[in-house]
A and B are shown apart, each in its own frame.
Chain A
Amino acid sequence: MKKTASVLLACLLSIGAMAGGFSIPEQGSKAAGLAGAFTGLANDPSAIYFNPAGISFIKGMNLTVGSTFVVPEAQYQDLKYGNQISKQKDLFFAVPQVFFTYQWEYDLTFGGGIYAPFGLGTEWEKDWSGDHLSRKIDLKNVHFGGVVSYKVMDNLSVAGTFAWSYAIAALEKQGDQIGHAGDVGLEGTGSGIHWGVSALYKPLEMLSIGMSYRAATELEITGDIEFTGDRTAASTDLKEGKGKVVLPIPSTLNVGVAVAVLPELMVTADYNWSEWSKYEKLEIENTDKNIVLSSSPRNWSNTSTYRVGAEYTGIHNLALRVGFLRDSDPVETKYSEPSLPDAARTGYTVGAGYRILDNLSVDAYLLLLYWDEKKVSDNEFTFNGYYNTYATLSGVHFTYNF
Chain B
Amino acid sequence: MKMIKALKLVSGLGLLMFSACSDFEDHKEKVSWGSANLSKFFAVGNSITAGYQSGSLFADGQSHSFAKQLADAAGTSFQANLISGNGYGERLIYNGVVANGSPVFTIGSSAGAAPTNMGYYTSTDNFNNLGVPGAALVIPAAIAPGDATDFFDVNVNSTGTDGLITTNGKSRKNPYFNVVLANGARGSNIFAALKASKPTFVSLWLGNNDVLGYATSGGTSPSAPTDPAVFSAKYQAVLDSILSLSTAPKVVVATIPNVVTIPFFTTVNPGVVASLSKNSISGIVFQKNTESLSQGTGSASLADLSSYKHMITLLGSSYAANIGKQNGAWVRYLAKSQGIPVDNLYLGVLAPAGIDTLQPFGLSPKNPWPNFLILDQDEVVVAVTALTQFNGAIKAIAGDASRSARVAVVDVNAEFGTIATATALGKSVSFQGIAITTKFFTGGLFSYDGVHPSDLGHGILANYFIGAINSKFGATIPEVDLNRLNGARYGKRVSDSGIDNVVVPVEPLMNAIKMLGGFSKEE
Q: Which residues of B contact A263 (CB under 8 A)?
A: none
Pick out which of these stretches binds chain B: A29-37, A227-235, A299-307. A227-235
Q: Are A83 and B18 in contact (CB under 8 A)?
A: no
Q: Once bound together, how far apart are the Cα atoms of A84 and B492, in whole Å?
A: 29
> In the complex, how many angstroms separate the beta carbon of A90 from the nearest chain B beta carbon?
5
Could you tell me if A380 and B430 are in contact, using CB atoms closer than 8 angstroms?
yes
Residues of A with C-beta under 8 A to B22: 73, 390
| A129 engages B481 (CB within 8 Å) | yes
C-alpha spacing A320/B5, complex, angstroms:
28
Contact flags (1/0) for B450-462 with A, using CB distance below 8 Å? 0000011000000
Interface flags for A68-86 (1: CB within 8 Å of B; 0: not) read: 0101010101111111110
B98 engages A179 (CB within 8 Å): no
Given the known interface contacts A83-B478, A180-B485, the answer about A237 and B101 at a Cβ–Cβ threshold of 8 Å is yes
Q: Name the interface residues of B1-60: CB closer than 8 Å to any CB of A.
A: 1, 3-5, 7-8, 11-15, 18, 21-22, 24-29, 31
What is the minimal beta-carbon distance from A106 to any residue of chain B, in angstroms?
Answer: 41
Contact with A along B433-451 (1 / 0, CB 8 A): 1111000001110000000
Q: Which of A54-62, A160-168, A170-178 contacts B (4 or more CB under 8 A)?
A: A170-178
A81-B31, A174-B483, A366-B13 known; A388 vs B96 contact (CB < 8 Å): no
One of B12, B29, B98, B488 near A177 (C-beta < 8 A): B488
Interface residues on B, range: 35 or more
Over the window 489-514 of chain B, the binary record of Cβ atoms lying under 8 Å from chain A Cβ atoms (1 yes, 0 no) is 11111110000000000000000000
Residues in B with CB closer than 8 Å to A357 are none
B431 located at the interface, meaning its Cβ lies under 8 Å from any Cβ of chain A in the complex: yes
The answer to whether B7 and A69 touch across the interface, beta carbons within 8 angstroms, is: yes
**Is B479 located at the chain interface by the 8 A CB criterion?**
yes
Q: Which residues in A have their C-beta under 8 angstroms from that of B15?
A: 71, 392
B414 beta carbon closer than 8 Å to chain A:
no
Contacts of A240 in B (CB 8 A): 492
Residue B486 lies at the interface, judged by CB distance under 8 Å to chain A:
yes
Is residue B97 contacting chain A, with contact meaning CB distance below 8 A?
yes
Report B-chain residues with C-beta under 8 Å of the C-beta of A132: 432-435, 483
Q: Tell me the minimal C-beta distance from B90 to chain A in angstroms.
A: 21
Give the CA-CA distance A29 to B210 in the complex, in Å.
Answer: 74
- Whether the Cβ atoms of A234 and B96 lie closer than 8 Å is yes
Q: Which of A178, A180, A235, A293 contacts B99 (CB 8 A)?
A: A235
A366 contacts across to B, CB distance below 8 A = 12-14
Residues 85-138 of B contacting A (Cβ, < 8 Å):
95-99, 101
Inside 8 A of A144's CB, which chain B residues have their CB? Answer: none
Given contact pairs A131-B483, A181-B489, A230-B489, A81 touches B29 in the complex (Cβ within 8 A):
yes
Instruction: Please give, as numbers and ranges, the residues of chain B lying within 8 Å of A127 by CB-CB distance.
Output: 483-484
CB distance from A317 to the nearest CB of B (A): 22
> Chain A, interface size: which category?
35 or more
Q: Of A177, A233, A382, which one neighbours B443 at CB under 8 angstroms?
A: A177
The answer to whether A383 and B433 touch across the interface, beta carbons within 8 angstroms, is: yes
Query: Within 8 Å CB of B95, what residues of A?
Result: 233
- A180-B483 contact, Cβ under 8 Å, with A366-B13, A368-B14: yes
The interface residues of chain A lying within 8 Å CB-to-CB of B3 are: 92
Q: A92-B7, A381-B430 are in contact. Are A175 and B26 (CB under 8 A)?
A: no
**Which of A128, A234, A370, A388 has the most chain B CB atoms inside 10 A of its CB?**
A234
Per the bound structure, the CA–CA distance linking A218 and B12 in Å amounts to 34
Q: Give the docked Cα–Cα distance between A238 and B98 (Å).
A: 8
A35 to chain B, nearest CB (A): 14
B192 CB to closest chain A CB (Å) equals 36
Complex interface: chain A residues within 8 A of B492 (CB): 227, 231, 234-235, 238-240
Q: Which residues of A contact B98 (CB under 8 A)?
A: 234-235, 237-238
Within 8 A of B (CB), among A108-135: 127-133
Taking the closest CB of chain B, its distance from the CB of A304, in whole angstroms, is 25
Q: Report which of A75, A128, A227, A380 forms a contact with B483, defined as CB distance below 8 A.
A: A128
B interface footprint on A325-344 (CB within 8 Å = 1, 0 otherwise): 00000000000010000000
Task: Give CA–CA (A381, B434) in the complex, Å.
Answer: 8
A133 B14 Cβ-Cβ under 8 A? no
B430 touching A382 by the CB < 8 A rule? Answer: yes
Q: List, in ascending order, chain A residues with CB within 8 A of B11's CB.
A: 69, 71, 92, 392-394
The answer to the question of B213 belonging to the interface, with a C-beta cut-off of 8 Å to chain A, is no
Residue of B7, B486, B495 near A71 (CB, 8 A) is B7
**A82 x B27 contact (CB < 8 A):** yes
* A239 contact set on B, CB distance < 8 A: 492
Q: What is the minimal beta-carbon distance from A49 to any residue of chain B, in angstroms?
A: 21
A269 CB to nearest B CB, Å = 24
Q: How far is the CB of A333 from chain B (nearest CB, A)?
A: 14
Partner pick for B25 among A238, A373, A381, CB 8 A cutoff? A373
Residues of B within 8 A of A388 (CB): 24-25
Task: Tell me if B476 counts as interface (CB < 8 A to partner A).
Answer: yes
Of A78, A81, A180, A381, the most chain B CB neighbours within 10 A belong to A81
Which B residues are in CB contact (< 8 Å) with A386?
25, 27
Which residue of chain B is the closest to A78 with respect to CB atoms? B479
Query: Is there contact, CB below 8 Å, between A381 and B31?
Result: no
Q: Do A238 and B28 have beta carbons less than 8 Å apart?
A: no
Assess whether A90 is in contact with B4, with CB atoms less than 8 Å apart.
yes
Does B487 have its Cβ within 8 Å of any Cβ on chain A? Answer: yes
Write out the residue numbers on chain B whose beta carbons fall within 8 Å of the beta carbon of A128. Answer: 483
User: How far is A291 from B487 in the complex, measured between Cα atoms in Å?
Assistant: 23
Kindly list chain A residues whose C-beta atoms are within 8 Å of the C-beta of B479: 78, 80-81, 83
Enumerate A212-236 residues with CB–CB distance to B below 8 Å. 227, 230-231, 233-235
**A340 CB to closest chain B CB, in angstroms?**
14
State the Cβ distance, A322 to closest chain B Cβ, in Å: 13
Closest chain A residue to B437 by CB distance? A177
Across the interface, do A133 and B27 meet the contact criterion of CB distance under 8 Å? no
In the complex, the answer to whether B24 meets A75 with C-beta atoms within 8 Å is yes
- B493-A175 in contact (CB<8A): yes
Minimum Cβ distance to chain B for residue A401 (Å): 27
Give the one of A69, A90, A176, A383 with max B CB within 10 A. A176
- Residue contact A370 to B21, C-beta cutoff 8 Å: yes
A124-155 contacts to B (CB < 8 Å)? 127-133
Contact present for A129 and B28 (CB under 8 Å): no
Q: Are A82 and B28 in contact (CB under 8 A)?
A: yes
Q: A91 vs B4: C-alpha distance in the bound complex, in angstroms?
A: 7
A residues near B484, Cβ cutoff 8 Å: 127, 180
Beyond contacts A77-B26, A82-B28: 9 other A-B pairs, Cβ-Cβ < 8 A, are A71-B7, A81-B476, A133-B433, A178-B490, A234-B96, A235-B99, A238-B101, A238-B491, A368-B21
**5 closest residue pairs by CB, A with B:** A234-B491, A238-B492, A233-B96, A179-B486, A388-B24
